[in-house]
Structure 1
Amino acid sequence: MYLNRFSAPAALALVLGLTAPLQAGPDLPPLALPDPMPAPAQTVLLPVPETRIDAAIATLDDLGADVLARSGIPGLAIAVVHGGQTVYARGFGQRAVDRPDPVDADTVFLLASLSKSVGATVIASQVSAGRVGWTSLVQSYLPEFDLGDPWVSAHVTVGDLYAHRSGLPDHAGDDLEDLGYDRDTVLSRLGMLPQAPFRAHYAYTNFGLTAAALAVATATGTDWASLSERALYAPLGMASTSSRYDDYRARDNRAASHIRNGDSFVVADLRQPDAQSPAGGVSSSVHDMARWMAMVLAGGGDLIDVEALRPALAPQMTDGLPLTIDARAGTYGYGFGVGVRPSGRVTFSHSGAFALGASTTYLMIPDLDLGIVVLTNALPTGAAEAIAASFADRVELGLDSRDWLAGYAALMAPVSAPVGSLVGVPRPTAPAPAQPDSVYVGRYGNGYFGPAIVTARDGGLRLHLGPQDHGQDLAMEHWDGDTFIVHPFTENQPAGSISRIDFLPDGTGALSVLRIEHLDDLNLGLFEREE
């Protein structure tokens, strides 16, 4: 094999993409390869001795403290599992900026989208028990589930929704949740959305995946949170883990969620994710998550048959085109990100983010029987991913290949940045005057979003969206002519967002159409006057 021609440093240089091979002494032996060669999936040309893993773990105290200080976030926790054991678990910083309580390894955080991977193992446990399969049809258990196309609706499987290949658009239904609609309402309206080709298009969805999880829970005769507790949390001893938001709020040792206030952080505690609990509603500690990672790395251990878990850990969809023609494509399994490190080692990973105050990640390297989980209590800053990436570098290379926090900070900044076409735009210096309030007041309808009600009260116009009792109620500010602005503040419209509100004429010239910018991502933001 040609691989025998390279010394270990030269092979490392090729793996890392260096322009010149690393220099070595003349007595360096050739790279030793196993004889016989193992299966291709097990062949990695960058050996990692146990001493390097130990050395990488020994750096975590300093790494955690450094990232905490550089990012400015209030708190974080890290755990590492290796060889089936938790070999590191520690907290850094504060649970909340307004209290001195320190974070420790048992502090409970919101997991955000790490919930998808955790939930996938709940489903794998039911596949293992023979109650459902990854190819089970969702309509077999949720006959009302509708994706807008009768054939697709009848054929979409649990696996399709966990691999984000149902044809639903990106983050389908999240906008309805922002408006205050409950889960049943959100799921009932997914079929109104524009659909991409079934099983030929990847688009990340919280409520599509949630529907699959609910189908499995229904098949087992219980609700999702109870199934998760019975099938996974209790057997693994994850006593601090729950899929109910009320349980998280009731924990004494709980990390509050934080958002920015200028250059500092303030407690938010605004994100209540029960509506999409299977996709984003789990709360846990790093101690508990280490138990979960050990089970996954053991191929399900004594809890889940490996053949039930293996499809979740296998590439099911590419999650987008490579950035360049010589770059690897990212792949997604059933609730797990499946990747390949520069060394050739397979990884399982996922990040989670709430713009309203949480950022989390885990990274597992099954070839090394090694995993790290990082939980933080602030909006995404790249801190969690930077720690995991630095740790993996130190395990394989003995050094950081780059400044990971700087890189991830830039990548994560848009997640919590204000949105809207008028953000940063100066107000018109000589705006055209608005018409009398009575011209705008009325009820406007939209099949997907429901009513938009414009009223005149409190000295100006107000816009109400969503359910009458707990929707969005927004003060309207005049901008120019028949254009106003509002300031929505939700998971998908972070602080500082501006939404443009345009009153548009119909064929007669009457202002009978209302366009709401922050609801118009899919060109669905037009509301027609009803009264």
Structure 2
Amino acid sequence: MSRLDQAHALRLRSAAALGLVAALAGGGCTGPDASAVHRPAAQTSPLPTVPPAQPPPRLTRAKVDAAVDRLDGVVRDAMRRTGVPGVAVGVVHDDEVLYLKGFGARKAGAEGRVGPDTVFQLASVSKPVASTVVAAAVGEKTVAWDDPVVEHSPGFALKDPWVTRHVTLADLFSHRSGLPDHAGDLLEDLGYDRPYILGHLRYEPLDPFRASYAYTNFGLTEAAVAVARAAGTSWENLSADKLYRPLGMDSTSSSFTDYEKAANKAVTHVKQGDTWQPEFVRDANAQSPAGGASSTVRDMTKWLRLQLGNGKFEGRQVIDSDALDETHLPHIVSEPPHAPAGRTGFYGLGWNVSYDDQGRVKLGHSGAFAMGAATNVTLLPSENLGIVVLTNGEPVGVPEAIASTLLDTAQTGGPTVDWLKFIGPILQQAAQGDRSETDYTKPPARPAPARADSTYTGTYANDFYGPMTVSTQGDDLVMRLGPRKQRFTLRHYDGDTFSYPTTGENAVGLSGVTFGVGTNGRADKVRVENLDTTGLGTFTRE
């Protein structure tokens, strides 16, 4: 999710659309108003008596079973309408797994069907999984949620020294540190590793501490890594030791290597025209706690049972209940209401927290890789009901629609809206949110000519993004960035401005590169539009 202005609230890269979908879908269940005041038929007192508000009637097993019985059709309909290659779904109610199925293909055009034991990348559903791991460490007194991060990660720093000293694990897990939306993600796209990215968060400008919300993969990652450091191990090992092994989640890992070598895995797909293609490989190891876990629906239903069981699993208290409860509480407003009667969305510790029409707490999180994965987990703790949906296609609303339809049907006997039709356009709009305001595919009617290539070639420095080199290769002007010196061909647009195709998880099509030419006739600086979202995208000639 993004900053609080509505223009940014629909950015896919910032996952705001998924948070907005979660808040809106949370209101899908309708029913009697539990707060309605009823006057008795005969008044025996000058003042009316008001009976206490009654909790909504609990969802019965019969209602849940009826909704589950319709899930096959709901999933197949969503796949038919979108073409998403593979889907896996698990449902838990009253500590029982009621539904565990896979549909479709692990890889389009290849043999191998999705089943309950097919491994999917979780994307940002990794976040509530990560907060569960930290809750285990909190319960064992290894750390406390309110520990300053620097107590466990002495080299950590943000731009403001006071914030650096005071920002806590909970601040970073609830995205209220002041770091800007998705701080560090563009460094990951350029190929930088986790230590480099975390070490360069100190350059990012800060919004007001604990008074602003901005979704940050690497802020949360820093907190998780600090916890692992306090425990004397790596994040990948801590996750396995405190959660995956105790629950028997044998196919779950926080390491991309384990996903990559899994024989029964769903590969990522993006839609090209009318077909889905396995075009990209998304290695999210750098942000493993925030987006790099992988699992199966069979394993994830074990985690759902733990969550709904207040940290208990099969009679054992695996996670301290108080430490886990803290993750479910609202810690910051993440989605202010956009209308007087609109809903307010909150973020807990790795969870979106909202309230449905019955006043029940609803916990959820979506995950999205633009490079080809979409996931969702949704819980109604008061009903002991949870659903997890994993897919191997880019986000088009399928997992959220399936989850919302199940909850809606259990409450009302059928969906109150066509959730896929409702959610899909929100995500479509979000997918366009980060694109440049300039259409670089259409040059000006009378573009100014470029100068000689030698005006632009050379090496430029940037404290945040590292060095950039601009050189000629044949007839092309080429920009190289990142530790692996990724190559980007620059195409002339107008005067000293060129375009280049962005790549990676945060690709937004064509973006601009504008050279600033000094009095000596050589460029002395260059601004890369797509890298300048927080004012850090200007490189200076060495």
- Retained in 1: the 8 A contact 2:457–2:471? yes
3-state secondary structure, aligned to 2:477 = strand
Summarize the alignment of residues 102-251 of structure 1 with structure 2, pairs less than 5 Å apart: 102-251=113-262
3-state secondary structure, aligned to 1:323 = coil
> More deviation in 108-117 or 189-198?
189-198
Distance 2:220 2:203 in 1: 17
Residues matched between the structures, number: 494
Q: Deviations over 1:472-527 (max 9, x none)?
A: 21011111221111101111115xx0011111234666432211111011122211
Per the TM alignment, residue 372 of structure 1 is displaced from its structure 2 partner at its CA by 0.4
- Retained in 2: the 8 A contact 1:116–1:336? yes
3-state secondary structure, aligned to 1:103 = coil
Distance 1:492 1:503 in 2: 23
Provide the residue aligned with 1:504 in structure 2.
Answer: 516
Provide the residue aligned with 2:461 in structure 1.
Answer: 445
Is 2:512 aligned against 1:493? no
Query: CA 1:471–1:358 in 2, change beyond 3 Å: closer, same or farther?
Result: farther
- Retained in 1: the 8 A contact 2:478–2:490? yes
Provide the residue aligned with 2:31 in structure 1.
Answer: 12
Provide the residue aligned with 1:93 in structure 2.
Answer: 104
Distance 2:208 2:404 in 1: 34
Is 2:481 aligned against 1:465? yes
Unaligned segments of structure 1, at least 5 residues: 1-10, 18-35
Q: Deviations over 1:147-180 (max 9, x none)?
A: 1222211111111110111111110110111111
Distance 2:325 2:404 in 1: 24
Q: Deviations over 1:64-103 (max 9, x none)?
A: 1000111111111110011111110101110011312111
Unaligned segments of structure 2, at least 5 residues: 1-29, 37-50
Distance 1:428 1:141 in 2: 54
Give the counterpart letter for 1:345 in structure 2: R
Summarize the alignment of residues 352-501 of structure 1 with structure 2, pairs less than 5 Å apart: 352-417=367-432, 419-423=435-439, 426-467=442-483, 470-494=484-508, 497-501=509-513
Summarize the alignment of residues 246-265 of structure 1 with structure 2, pairs less than 5 Å apart: 246-265=257-276
2:55 to 30, 44, 47: 44
Per the TM alignment, residue 452 of structure 1 is displaced from its structure 2 partner at its CA by 1.6
Q: Deviations over 1:24-70 (max 9, x none)?
A: xxxxxxxxxxxx96xx8xx5325422211110000001001000111
Query: CA 1:440–1:213 in 2, change beyond 3 Å: closer, same or farther?
Result: same
Distance 2:323 2:468 in 1: 46
> More deviation in 289-298 or 126-135?
126-135
- Retained in 2: the 8 A contact 1:421–1:498? no
Provide the residue aligned with 1:6 in structure 2.
Answer: none
Provide the residue aligned with 1:75 in structure 2.
Answer: 86
* Cα-Cα RMSD: 1.9
Q: Deviations over 1:267-299 (max 9, x none)?
A: 034210000000000000111111001000001
3-state secondary structure, aligned to 2:101 = strand
Provide the residue aligned with 1:22 in structure 2.
Answer: none
Provide the residue aligned with 2:529 in structure 1.
Answer: 517
Per the TM alignment, residue 446 of structure 1 is displaced from its structure 2 partner at its CA by 1.6
Is 2:294 aligned against 1:280? no
Distance 1:152 1:93 in 2: 48
Query: CA 1:119–1:346 in 2, change beyond 3 Å: closer, same or farther?
Result: same
Query: CA 1:274–1:165 in 2, change beyond 3 Å: closer, same or farther?
Result: same
- Retained in 2: the 8 A contact 1:421–1:500? no
Distance 2:184 2:307 in 1: 30
Provide the residue aligned with 1:4 in structure 2.
Answer: none
More RCO (CA 8 Å, sep 6+) = 2
Give the counterpart letter for 1:449 in structure 2: Y
Per the TM alignment, residue 414 of structure 1 is displaced from its structure 2 partner at its CA by 4.2
> More deviation in 276-285 or 437-446?
437-446
- Retained in 2: the 8 A contact 1:46–1:396? no
Distance 1:416 1:266 in 2: 18
